[in-house]
Amino acid sequence: MKGLVLGGTSSGVGKTVATLAVIRALDREGVTVQPAKAGPDFIDPSHHERVAGRPSRTLDRWLQGADGLRRNYHRGEGADGRGPSARETGSPAVCVVEGVMGLYDGDGSSTAMVAEALDLPVVLVVDAKAGMESVAATAVGFREYAAHAGRDIDVAGVIAQRAHGGRHADGIREALPDGLTYFGRIAPDDALEIPDRHLGLHMGEESPLGEDALDAAAEHLRVDRLRAVAREPPRPEASGGVRGPSGPRSGDAGGPRVAVARDDAFCFVYPATLERIRERGELVPFAPADGEGLPDCDGVYLPGGYPERFAADLAAGPALDSLADRAADGLPVFGECGGLMALAESLTTTDGETYEMAGVLPADIEMHERYQALDHVELRAREDTLTAATGDRRRGHEFHYSSADPAGDARFAFDVERGDGISEGRDGLTEYRTLGTYCHCHPESGAVDAFLDTL
């Protein structure tokens, strides 16, 4: 599967819209598109999935390492649970990777690091609303900076975001020197604005771009040039990674039944996590915010999301009460970020409303107007827990607007080597066989397999 990376000159330059436009343009030419996102984001991929019809892969050097990143890329060649794979259709396939922040920004896993690990060309998204030759100068600067920094980054050309046609587009194209390709433009259009809130844009199913707007955005992109520049990354050197057993539990052909919260309150989950659960057992979805109770299961996974937006529904529904009862009986329960919040004693919104949560973990959660943590994270296990053995390290990501006030006798499973965690350099509140963290872990970290091994 050939691929290319859409890198931006900065955050807010319009990478997501450009990515969706490229997906639409390729799709209209009969190309099977596998979307991907550089960095640990959950929201942009939800827009990718809606337009491409298949889950977006997560590509992050910090979360996965170089080989893990390549493994996750190449898994996109197979079926992803929605629609046929490129192999099954027999159609040509291109992976379109949306970058994170500016091309070179980020010490844990920048877009440049991802492009370098995969040896993929970078198509630079430049905001052209107030420039022509300066767009070319910007592209030249980004290309030359790679050599200056000793980086093997191939800046292949530009997509001019918010560029008009005629003289504006001609001026950009003519100013580009040899070696930098003009891949087209996306015209200014208010219909291409995606609303945002804390944590980022609205989710793809919540505020999708209209079909007409997407078609218009794709109209002036040069699909032939995009396909010509795409290339296939190297295969990973190792086939394994930090992984546990690849099959079901010994003596249990069906594997464990894992109840996974899948609704608007718990919508931040990596496709690879769901794939891993399905590989080793049975994934049983349930919707706590929609009033569904906890299904019969061997363990529970509560992903991140927006529990604060649905706190009243969660408090009134049956799921948290049954979760509390089952957790007290020893059912393994793993909650990440939003899952941690739902497992706590209470949740107070920015409006000052306080709602009872499951009450499994001894902490009260409060929402804030400003984010409380944003970083790649590394944790070291203080004790054996659901996702790690004593001394094991787990890499992940944290981004949240809430803070936790744990009880004085609260137990923590992890010391934080990088990041903020829950409190005073610690993360992983634990009680019974329940674990709640602010850290989101990708399966390449080993956390998901460790959890499944306990079931």
Active site residues: 337
Exposure on the CB side of residue 453, measured as CA atoms within 13 A: 15
Tokens of 231: 């290339």
Question: What's the distance, CA 75 to chain centroid?
Answer: 16
Residues 220 and 161 sit within 8 Å (Cβ to Cβ): no
**Which helix (H) or strand (E) segment is 228 a member of?**
helix 223-229
Helix residue spans in 53-188 (DSSP H):
61-75, 86-89, 111-118, 133-148, 167-175
Q: Is 126 helix (H, G, I), strand (E, B) or coil?
A: strand
Residues 314 and 357 sit within 8 Å (Cβ to Cβ): yes
Question: Which stretches does DSSP call E strand in 344-448?
Answer: 346-348, 354-356, 363-367, 373-381, 393-400, 402-406, 411-418, 426-431, 434-437, 440-441
Tokens of 20: 């969706």
Burial bucket for residue 224 (CB in 10 Å: 0-12, 13-18, 19+): exposed
Q: Which of 104, 128, 80 has its CA nearest to residue 10?
A: 104
CA distance 88 to 367: 46
Q: Which of 176, 451, 403 has its CA nearest to residue 298?
A: 451
Q: Which of 56, 451, 117 has its CA nearest to residue 272?
A: 56
Count CB-CB contacts under 10 A for residue 211: 10
CA distance 326 to 181: 59
CA distance 336 to 75: 24
